[in-house]
Amino acid sequence: MILVYDKQDDPEIKSAQLQILHGIFVDKSKTGDYQTTRGILEILERNGNRDDLAAFLEDRNLPVDDVGRDALAERILNSPPELGYLTISNALQWRVQYGRVIVVSKSDERAGIEDLLNA
């Protein structure tokens, strides 16, 4: 569930007003990183193998060692992910950005992403 809100504090009366701007349900199958899942699915569409997937995962700077990366590549071959719609950055700390989910919830009826405020 993604809730985007605008909060206005009123220090005089020691209260706040909270306005919910977006309320979006994202099914767990759609919470993957968009660029990563899209890249994986494109590799598989081009008949990529475990080595192709492992190299892609290494390029994505996932925090996993060689053994874990190979195991993950094998798991992806056996059970490919669904396309995710979040943007996940692992620079100095993990951050999730949800702009794409908001756009998709407004413009597209995809199973697993639902605009709860305008349903």
Task: Output the DSSP codes for 3-42.
Answer: EEEEEEEETTTTEEEEEEEEEEEE-GGG-SBHHHHHHHHH
- What pLDDT, on the 0 to 100 scale, is given for residue 119? 67
The string of DSSP codes covering 54-81 is HHHHHHTT-S--HHHHHHHHHHHHHSPP
Please report, for the chain, the start and end positions of each structural domain, with discontinuous segments joined by +: 44-82
DSSP H/E element including 95:
strand 95-97
- What pLDDT, on the 0 to 100 scale, is given for residue 8? 95
- What pLDDT, on the 0 to 100 scale, is given for residue 88? 82
Q: What's the angle, vertex CA 41, arms to CA 116 and CA 24, rounded to 5?
A: 10
User: Tokens 């199973």 belong to which residue?
Assistant: 111
Q: Residue 49 half-sphere exposure, CB side, CA atoms within 13 Å?
A: 1
- What pLDDT, on the 0 to 100 scale, is given for residue 93? 57
pLDDT in tens, the chain (119 residues): 999 999 999 999 999 999 999 999 999 999 999 999 999 999 999 999 999 999 999 999 888 999 999 999 999 999 999 999 988 877 655 667 888 888 888 877 667 888 888 86
User: Tokens 């979040």 belong to which residue?
Assistant: 86
**45/49 Cα distance (integer angstroms):** 10
